[in-house]
Chains A and B, each alone.
Chain A
Amino acid sequence: MGIGFAQQGHPLTGTWNGDFGPSPTQRSQLTIVMTWDGKETKGTINPGPDSAAAAIFLDVINWTVRIEADMKDQSGKPAHVVAEGKLDDIGNYHRTISGTWKQGATTGSFKLTRD
């Protein structure tokens, strides 16, 4: 998709795709749809029957993002997710967020690119 379709509004608004996991070879696909309503950013993780609502916090001083959600792990057990990442290349349509992903007792990394 070309630069001509760049979104210039709130930098988190839109659909973000990527993955997370504890190692480079153990990754799970991740989609988060983020919306800004003027007061807070809300997220929907993996839209569909297994979606989870996420609270999104943007630190505009450092352009860091914190994502919190209650999801399920691979065995189906509830697992609280806390992800913290850096928002990079803010002016680019395909801007990215990357950082650490903690799900229950498992720690790993994540990377999202705005779709």
Chain B
Amino acid sequence: MSLAKKYLKLEILTVSAVIALSAVTAIAQRAPSGNYESDKKVKLSGIVTRIDWVNPSAFFTVNVKDGTGMISNWAIEIGNPLDLQRDGWKPTALHIGDTVNVEGIPARGPRRQAMATSVVLAKTGAKVFVASNKPRAKVASQPVPRWPDGHPRLGPAPGKKGYWGTPSSTVLVETTNATIPMNRDGLLANIADSDKVAPFQPWAKALYEYRQRTLFKDDPYNRCMPPGGARHFQNPYGFQFIEQPEIGRILLLLGGGDRNWRIIYTDGRPVGHKDELVLTYYGTSVGKWEGDTLVVDTVGFNEKFWFSNGGLPHTEALHLTERFTRSDFGTLRYQVTVDDTQTYTRPWTGGWTIQWVPDEEIQEYFCEENAESTFVR
């Protein structure tokens, strides 16, 4: 077969109907909403010229011939390697020189780039990739593991493995307004709903709306800065508690940053004052048990990150009170009260649940700041 015959026509379809919000969320964990035009689809056929299995997002490139005979090179983003492995994709499923049919969502602007929703080998018709967001199976009911003093174990029982992942929500809004339509990145369906998200001060509301309107283009997380504040409980890569009661601390190992961690001191020390602390992405935390709930106070945040998906602003005055309750073996209830008098008119509270992932460890995840630029056209 000649090379020319391997190239098929490029077709871009604009979907006139508004895509349901749930359809948008199906890809949200794979890429920020701002990078792709979720109301458009692209169909491409071409020859694979490069495969890069990299964090934060793997991609391959294809040479595509359009209707006029022009050949152009497209970058096809296929998502985070950890997600891909979970969905059954293997890097060996595709080879340079393969002819593939790709369906996906085109990038905004002039870039020849798309987020794949389906990749099929043209020769055999075999599907090598179909985007999915399959929910994890519920963990079988069993008693909450406990320490000898009666406190629930937030980590696995001795001899077992497991971590917390798959949050029920990846956005933070005030609990009383939990049904505001937005996608998993926190992009509002209607910007007029911004007042319902949180009790913003005027400048914070204006900045929040600016970030929404500019589709999170300035989000530090997209440049591999740590997901500080409540945000690390929103990402799909999970976290793990390492409880060390003998030395009065709990380590939080975070799967969504570059091997990031938090220390929660449970030895009775005061949380301190931000003016006496080195300000960091995760702040300084102290915790105590109130019944079966671990209550964690954190101050000392810097202003170099967004503390939640969606672009919620904060200042160095941010004080988070987090409540972790293992309500059953497979469920962790997370509730966070945001107190930042320089940004919000009053303290406010939101939360979600997080599912136990048994018999697995959080996987290594490294964000590469320059990875995206390698496939920007």
Q: Is the CB of A11 within 8 A of B207?
A: yes
> Nearest-CB distance from B191 to chain A (Å)?
14
* Chain B residues with CB under 8 A of A91: 210-211, 214, 217-218
> Nearest-CB distance from A86 to chain B (Å)?
14
Interface size counted on chain A using CB atoms at 8 A: 20
The 3 closest A-B pairs by CB, nearest first: A91-B218, A9-B303, A60-B206
The digit string for A1-39, where 1 denotes a CB below 8 A from any CB of B, is: 001111111110100000000000000000000001110
Choose one: A6, A8, A11, A37; the contact of B203 (CB below 8 Å): A11
In the assembled complex, B69 has its CB within 8 A of some CB on chain A: no
The digit string for B182-206, where 1 denotes a CB below 8 A from any CB of A, is: 0000000000000000000111011
Q: Is the CB of B202 within 8 A of A60?
A: yes
The digit string for A46-67, where 1 denotes a CB below 8 A from any CB of B, is: 0000000000001011010000
Q: Is the CB of A61 within 8 A of B206?
A: yes
List the count of A-B residue pairs having beta carbons below 8 Å apart: 62
Which B positions have Cβ atoms within 8 angstroms of A? 201-203, 205-207, 210-211, 214, 217-218, 220, 223, 225, 303-306, 313-317, 341-343
Q: Is the CB of A5 within 8 A of B304?
A: yes
Q: How far is the CA of A60 from the CA of B238 in the complex (A)?
A: 37
In the complex where A4-B223, A7-B303, A38-B341 touch, is A90 in contact with B315 (Cβ < 8 A)? no
In the assembled complex, A92 has its CB within 8 A of some CB on chain B: yes
* Chain A residues with CB under 8 A of B218: 6, 8, 91-92
* Chain B residues with CB under 8 A of A8: 218, 220, 303-306, 313-314
Choose one: B217, B306, B342; the contact of A37 (CB below 8 Å): B342
Q: How far is the CA of A63 from the CA of B205 in the complex (A)?
A: 12
* Chain A residues with CB under 8 A of B314: 8-9
* Chain B residues with CB under 8 A of A37: 342
Choose one: B202, B223, B303; the contact of A3 (CB below 8 Å): B223
